Amino acid sequence: MGRVVVEVMPKPEILDPQGKAVVGALPRLGFTQFSGVRQGKRFELEVDGEVTPEILAAAQEAAVTLLSNPVIEDVVSVAEAAPAEVTGEASGAPVGA
């Protein structure tokens, strides 16, 4: 079984209230290194068999027509998931641990 990862972000000119809330909370929690946050969406699409160029093209089309709102969002990547990227199948440790 293969997986395709689609990442969607708000367009740069669109207000991101969730990102703004996170960037405001970070210093209160001691994370003063960060000056900006944009929050997006990640989709993992499972496919039977291998991820082929045709599967990636279909995922791109699905990303543009269904998974994103093209008025306010950009599809920033559509790619085959690396084994360590797949949610729930990694070691269970937090990223960077």
Residue with tokens 């991820």, as numbered in its chain: 51
Write the pLDDT tens digit of every residue in 7-17.
Answer: 999 999 999 99
Of 8, 17, 66, 61, nearest to 37 (Cα)?
17
**pLDDT on residue 83:** 75
- pTM, whole model, 2 decimals? 0.78
Mean pLDDT for each 10-residue chunk of the chain (97 residues)? 96 96 97 97 96 96 96 96 64 45
Write the pLDDT tens digit of every residue in 29-42.
Answer: 999 999 999 999 99
**pLDDT on residue 17:** 95
Q: Length of the chain in residues, anyone?
A: 97
Query: How far apart are the C-alpha atoms of 94 and 37, rounded to whole Å?
Result: 19
